[in-house]
Structure 1
């Protein structure tokens, strides 16, 4: 049983503790009855044995020892069998053997457990042979008690097998989740490199390709382009370092609204743009949802920098029940709906990337824009990632 896993061992220990506690309660009740009848002295050894068994399994050290060496449950069997033999096998205390049979089924392999139960039945019948046997005794102690012992042993075996199957299932589930998490992390890194580093490198390549022509005709423009190229290189290095940092460490355990404020502050410092912020104290419990929302926010702010022109940007965060809404809006130039829809065909994946991020976590995405009235981007998602419908670009 110890090899079947921690979960199976915990289940077996719990059932064993409950069985021994039930045994203790029944024996204490029978002891009271015997005391009222004047025969309580003989019941003391059995009650002591029951208390000893339960206290032993209540100790964490003993539980760990039994989990490593299930054969130790035989001590309970031997102890109870000896005491029942002393008190008398034709007494109600023979029921103590029933819990021993259950414990054997819980902890020992089937073949050794069957041998132990067979020995228990043989000992019971041997001790019973020394007593005068009448018809009632034959029915109660020769037929019923052995049947109860075998039945409870089979019940223990069934629980042991169920615990083993559960343990293997949990192990397989953990392995599958680990593989899925690895694949998901690889996809996230690939998407992150595409959305940030690849776009920056593409811009740098275009700038570099224009340098020869500018050097021949307009050296002052070439100098300006070279400075822009240097700045872009610095930005790419920062993006690579940020991505490497995310691979080395886990995200900080800070409230989600604080993480949003940090992203906005970094963007404000880098661009010098005016931003108004309205953030409710909203937290998001799912780590993947947190990550995708923050990266979508970065993408939306970057789109403002590239396409909105001079404007005021507004960022808001709110929640209604379990649905989180993050919105980025500006009063800049705006654009035609057809222009936004055709962006992926021209190699610009900002809006498409934000939509994909929300689809990944089962969220919703809306992009509302028109020439002269700015752009509003809205992300909606269940804070634990429940599936919602993704909306298309609106005029």
Structure 2
């Protein structure tokens, strides 16, 4: 499974979370490492003990926000006094170690934090303060350190403070915009997912539960009249009505199971088709034939839509075609999986535009929408009095795994010798 792409999180209501928390932790950790390098590179100086103590205090001040950012981060964002107070300690260390020591890069981290946390106003404030601290350190060390008077030390190094601070402020603006854009995109994706789920549920209810309940309503109206004129026939109608009610209950359970997230992928597609065709053939008394190949694994969306298309196609055969036989074929053709449902019923004239068949209802248009939702399409071939062929294809997944070694012979059934591959016991699969 491919890794889910990372999404840049915004700073949140407190302004200290998301990308800012991650960036500040990273900078604070790097600054702690610079302190360690400064400590190791100390020369023998008169104030060595004081320098070590100041570096240890600065290390603790850098590590505490890393460990407790959830509590301390919002305070730092609201009050610049943390970084301002840290500058006093940084000025002391910079004076004692010299501007050419590794500690200079620690102060660059302070400039970067000022721009990231407080934006352009913070970049201006902290870059000015750092330049003043740097100039004061040079002034104090000038009498006994000749190296502080070269061009690199006097001009190049202090100019890095405003550059780094402005870069931090620019990164803040860019990251805020990107986080906002990704949040907007995520919101739109959630909205589209909700809309798609509503449309799927509407199709599922129309293709199953709504039609069954509609039929129950008509049957119940007719039953009250038939009881008076044909009591024996009314008994049979009552049995059919009870069967339709059980069917409606089953369809409602399937819809609820889908809402709870049950995945159709747990049942192989050929098995699901055999089961559905067997139930339909037994209920309607229509002969069912065809062949079902192993087409390999398919995405759950394609599995669900193919099953619903099959149900709707069989329901249309029962309602309109008055067929005596239905053939169902499932095969893999290159990069496509094709499901075909053919009947020998009444047929009809197919218009050039398939959407004209459906009018305002879902019908065949809904079946085509399902096929396209799964990344495929649907076609219809029919002539009046010559039956109907509905073909739907979806993109194929991985090829089916080949069984190593000889396959066991197919089971035999009475009167037919053997049952072809993909057959359902009790039905004729050709």
Match of 1:364 in 2: 377
Deviation at 1:70, TM superposition (A): 3.8
Match of 2:141 in 1: 131
Deviation at 1:180, TM superposition (A): 2.5
Instruction: State the secondary structure of the residue aligned to 2:293.
Output: strand
- Within 5 Å, give how 1:125-274 maps onto structure 2: 125-132=135-142, 137=149, 139-211=151-223, 214-247=226-259, 249-252=260-263, 255=265, 258=268, 261-262=271-272, 264-269=274-279, 271-272=281-282, 274=288
Match of 2:323 in 1: 309
Pair 75,258 (structure 1): closer, same or farther in 2 beyond 3 Å? farther
Q: Return the match for 1:296 from 309, 313, 327.
A: 309
Deviation at 1:179, TM superposition (A): 2.6
Whether the 8 Å contact between 2:112 and 2:168 is mirrored in structure 1 is: yes
Deviation at 1:256, TM superposition (A): 6.8
Pair 164,234 (structure 1): closer, same or farther in 2 beyond 3 Å? same
TM score, norm. by length of structure 1: 0.72
Instruction: State the secondary structure of the residue aligned to 1:298.
Output: helix
Distance 1:267 1:278 in 2: 15
Whether the 8 Å contact between 2:270 and 2:330 is mirrored in structure 1 is: no
Distance 1:241 1:167 in 2: 41
CA RMSD of aligned residues (A): 4.5
Match of 2:393 in 1: 379
Pair 92,222 (structure 1): closer, same or farther in 2 beyond 3 Å? closer
Quick check: which one's helix share is greater?
1
Deviations 1:28-70 (A, max 9, x none): 8xx88x99xx99x98x969x77x959994996x4555565454
Match of 2:296 in 1: 281
Deviation at 1:199, TM superposition (A): 1.8
Aligned residues: 369
Structure 2: gaps spanning 5 or more residues: 1-10, 398-430
Whether the 8 Å contact between 2:375 and 2:395 is mirrored in structure 1 is: yes
Whether the 8 Å contact between 2:371 and 2:378 is mirrored in structure 1 is: yes
Deviation at 1:381, TM superposition (A): 4.5
Q: Return the match for 1:335 from 344, 347, 350.
A: 347
Whether the 8 Å contact between 2:317 and 2:345 is mirrored in structure 1 is: no
Whether the 8 Å contact between 2:31 and 2:109 is mirrored in structure 1 is: yes
Structure 1: gaps spanning 5 or more residues: 384-395
